[in-house]
Amino acid sequence: MRWTEKALMRPHQCVMIPHLGDDHPDGYIASGNIMTFLDGEPHVSVVAVREMARLIGLPTAEVHEGVCAEVARLTAELEQERAARAEAEQAVAAVHVLKAAGFKAEKKPGRPPAGAKREAA
């Protein structure tokens, strides 16, 4: 099988979708076989469809599953980050409310610098 720009053999159209003529911009996949349809209906195996998908660069089912799992993992991580951000925004909003009400901290949190104790004594 190979990709071709035009339908190279008669009837110069897509076997599966006959209204696509030989000038379709996406091109064609030449199977290398002459197709005869004894019962009037074309049959294409799933294996052939997978090979055709590979030829035009579509991902395999395994790659698709891996990408879906990665998307699910990243979505869960994003939700955790959004929850953490919402919590932080609530804390910032609380500080703004306190500042707007005129509240001030009496002393700075944490240990005073070593030099500050000596000067106070």
**Sign, CA torsion 29/35/41/43:** negative
Does 121 fall in a domain? no
Q: Which two tokens stand for residue 27?
A: 């091109």
Does 76 fall in a domain? yes
Residues 5 and 46 in one domain: yes
Residues 9 and 43 in one domain: yes
What single-letter amino acid sits at 62?
A: E
Give the least confident one: 42-46, 62-66, 67-71, 85-89.
42-46
Its pTM surpasses 0.75: no
Q: What integer pLDDT is reported at residue 102 of this predicted model?
A: 81
- Residue 111 is classified by DSSP as P
Report yes or no: 14 and 36 within 8 Å, Cβ to Cβ. no
| Closest-CA residue to 36 (of 7, 50, 15, 19) | 15
Q: What integer pLDDT is reported at residue 81 of this predicted model?
A: 97
